[in-house]
């Protein structure tokens, strides 16, 4: 069998000896955890720092130019007396004054017309399934055993993965999986699960915001695995009888970071269509992606992914300024798909028994760490205080100019303190191991990672919607205050790593509806409760 490494850097070591016969020999396995997320302190690529500063200069050129022009004008006018000023003004002929005024008005018009409208997040909703869909970890193994699809070695592997995952005993699995044990990867079951989670989240969103479905002009739905015809976006339009000219988009195959990609697309559509609403729905169909084979690299998603869906309402209407919860500040997207290893590290295919599933490469943690490093390096200049940027950029340049990159050098670049840029962190709840490594590399506190860890424990890995369950946790704890900055960070197949930054428009009180309201007083869990 050799070696296999799963998604979350748990190495399965084959210590047995096989005979030549197909079923001969005995094998024993041990599990040891290896940290394989790249240390961000060891290497930072200068070109991504330059890219971040390019974004900063591109969007901040007016803020630099206007004060300079005002300073020059003030210096010119301030040196003249009142009489000299009038004499100078009357000294110009009418054509010169008109030309100057025309250029001034034209410049202002171009500036205000080209300046992007603010994008506001009015509110969002996260679907909470019924309690009869809760599956504790021990029951999960029994469900897998009753299905008759797995041998004892596969069941033991899933049990070890599950117990070390950081997932608790209250996550949700569709009835199609926990029921008869028959195949759940059917179009009928996929549509049933999609209807349950999407309509559940959207019903709550429309009720909370008071916006009618017919008022929505842009609809973006993302679901990586399940993409029926008609599409999921068409299902929503049909169910809510949306207007005929709604701009709808259905994103598929883009992994756990697709929620941020969907927000980016909705933002671009709103910039082209003023005074409108956009709805973004992020979900994944767990039952349709349920793997029933024995290949370990394809069993991992079964252990981590759980039911979930989020729906958010965006607006570019200026009159929504007062009622909006957040304003969109930045979106930074990183795509490593040009590299063959990155492209194939999460790959949907059939195994030898023709069962479909997601094959997870043993290099995923390494590849994901590289994409994450690129993303946060690009984001840094846009969000970090100037003092942090100066220290970071100075030490980085020194390292490149004076040989700090030599393998024997102990000098490391200064890694900025991202806690100075953000008050709240919503890191995609993929697994306990990944969250541990991100916390260690970015030197984040336990409180910074609390929303991610508790979401993983309570709801599992809900794919692209997980960052919204995390924000819902922060709101249920009433931690978000006016002016706070929220960083949502997600990564997924392709390989992609994406960031979105929001700024709170007001103090967020505990919402009347939330997936956390029934249990928020039990969280955060202690280290003893949370540890496997």
Q: What are phi and psi of 421, to 5 degrees?
A: -95, -25
Instruction: Determine whether 239 is an active site residue.
Output: no
Instruction: Determine whether 405 is an active site residue.
Output: no
96 token code pair: 């010169």
CB 326 within 8 A of CB 355: no
Q: What's the rounded Cα separation, in Å, for the pair 165 and 431?
A: 6
Q: Which among 227, 239, 330, 335 is annotated as catalytic?
A: 335
Query: Which residues, 6 or more positions from 159, have their beta carbon under 8 angstroms from its beta carbon?
Result: 137, 141
Q: What's the rounded Cα separation, in Å, for the pair 469 and 456?
A: 9
Q: Which among 424, 426, 441, 497 is annotated as catalytic?
A: 424
Strand residue runs (E) in 205-262: 216-222, 247-251
Instruction: Determine whether 428 is an active site residue.
Output: yes
Strand residue runs (E) in 393-434: 424-427
Instruction: Determine whether 461 is an active site residue.
Output: yes
Share in percent of the chain as helix, strand, coil (round to 5): 45, 15, 35
Q: What are phi and psi of 481, to 5 degrees?
A: -115, 165
Burial of 498 (0-12, 13-18, 19+ CB in 10 A): buried
Q: Tell me the longest C-alpha to C-alpha distance in the chain.
A: 107
Q: Which among 223, 428, 497, 498 is annotated as catalytic?
A: 428
Three-class SS of 311-322: EEEEECCHHHCC
132 token code pair: 């009869």
Q: What 8-state DSSP symbol labels residue 99? A: H
Q: What are phi and psi of 82, to 5 degrees?
A: -60, -45
Give the H/E segment covering residue 357: strand 356-360
Instruction: Determine whether 256 is an active site residue.
Output: yes
Q: What's the rounded Cα separation, in Å, for the pair 378 and 51?
A: 6
Do β-strands 326-335 and 120-126 pair in parallel, antiparallel, or remain unpaired? Answer: antiparallel
62 token code pair: 């007016």
CB 197 within 8 A of CB 307: yes
Give the H/E segment covering residue 380: helix 364-383
21 token code pair: 């016969």
Q: Which among 222, 461, 497, 498 is annotated as catalytic?
A: 461
Q: Which among 126, 256, 303, 345 is annotated as catalytic?
A: 256
Q: What's the rounded Cα separation, in Å, for the pair 287 and 279?
A: 25
For the chain, how many residues are written? Answer: 532
Q: What's the rounded Cα separation, in Å, for the pair 449 and 437?
A: 11
Cα 254 from chain centroid?
12
Active site residues: 256, 335, 424, 428, 461
């Amino acid at each position: 069998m050799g070696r296999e490494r799963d998604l979350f850097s748990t190495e399965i070591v084959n210590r047995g000896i096989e005979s030549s016969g197909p079923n001969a020999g005995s094998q024993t396995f041990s599990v040891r955890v290896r940290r394989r997320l790249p240390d961000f302190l060891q290497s930072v690529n200068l070109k991504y720092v330059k890219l971040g500063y390019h974004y900063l200069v591109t969007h901040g050129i007016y803020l630099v130019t206007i004060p300079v022009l005002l300073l020059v004008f003030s210096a010119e006018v301030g040196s003249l007396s009142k009489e000299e000023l009038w004499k100078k003004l009357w000294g110009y002929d009418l054509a010169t004054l008109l030309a100057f005024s025309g250029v001034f008005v034209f410049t202002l018009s171009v500036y205000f017309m080209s300046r992007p409208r603010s994008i506001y997040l009015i509110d969002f909703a996260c679907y909470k399934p019924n309690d009869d869909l809760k599956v504790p970890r021990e029951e999960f193994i029994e469900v897998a055993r009753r299905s008759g699809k797995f041998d004892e070695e596969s069941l033991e592997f899933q049990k070890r993965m599950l117990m070390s995952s950081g997932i608790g005993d209250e996550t949700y699995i569709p009835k199609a999986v926990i029921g008869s044990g028959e195949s759940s990867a059917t179009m009928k079951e996929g549509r049933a699960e999609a209807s349950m989670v999407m309509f559940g989240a959207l019903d709550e969103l429309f009720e909370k915001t008071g916006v009618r479905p017919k008022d929505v002009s842009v609809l973006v739905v993302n679901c990586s695995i399940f993409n029926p015809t008609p599409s999921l976006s068409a299902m929503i339009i049909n169910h809510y009888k949306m207007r005929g000219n709604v701009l709808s988009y259905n994103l598929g195959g883009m992994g756990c970071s697709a929620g941020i990609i969907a927000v980016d697309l909705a933002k671009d559509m709103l910039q082209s269509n003023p005074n409108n609403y956009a709805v973004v729905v992020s979900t994944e169909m767990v039952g349709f992606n349920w793997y029933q084979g024995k290949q370990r690299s394809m069993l991992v998603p079964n252990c981590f992914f759980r039911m979930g869906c989020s729906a958010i309402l965006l607006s570019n209407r200026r009159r929504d300024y007062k009622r909006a919860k957040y304003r969109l500040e930045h979106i930074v997207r990183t795509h490593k798909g040009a590299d063959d290893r990155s492209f194939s590290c999460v790959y949907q295919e059939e195994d030898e028994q023709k069962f479909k599933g997601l094959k997870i490469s043993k290099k995923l943690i390494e590849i994901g760490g590289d994409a994450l490093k690129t993303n946060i390096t690009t984001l840094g200049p846009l969000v970090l205080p100037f003092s942090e940027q100066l220290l970071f950029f100075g030490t980085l340049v020194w390292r490149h100019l004076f040989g700090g990159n030599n393998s024997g050098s102990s000098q490391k670049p200064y890694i900025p303190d991202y806690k100075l840029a953000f008050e709240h962190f919503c890191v995609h709840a993929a697994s306990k191991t990944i969250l541990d490594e991100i916390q260690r590399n970015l030197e984040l506190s336990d409180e910074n990672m609390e929303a991610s860890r508790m979401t993983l424990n309570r709801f599992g890995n809900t794919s692209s919607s997980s960052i919204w369950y995390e924000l819902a946790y922060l709101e249920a704890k009433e931690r978000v205050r006016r002016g706070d900055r929220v960083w949502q960070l997600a990564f997924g197949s392709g390989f992609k790593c994406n960031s979105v930054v929001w700024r709170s428009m007001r103090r967020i009180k505990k919402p009347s509806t939330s997936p956390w309201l029934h249990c928020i007083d039990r969280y955060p869990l202690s280290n003893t409760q949370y540890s496997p």
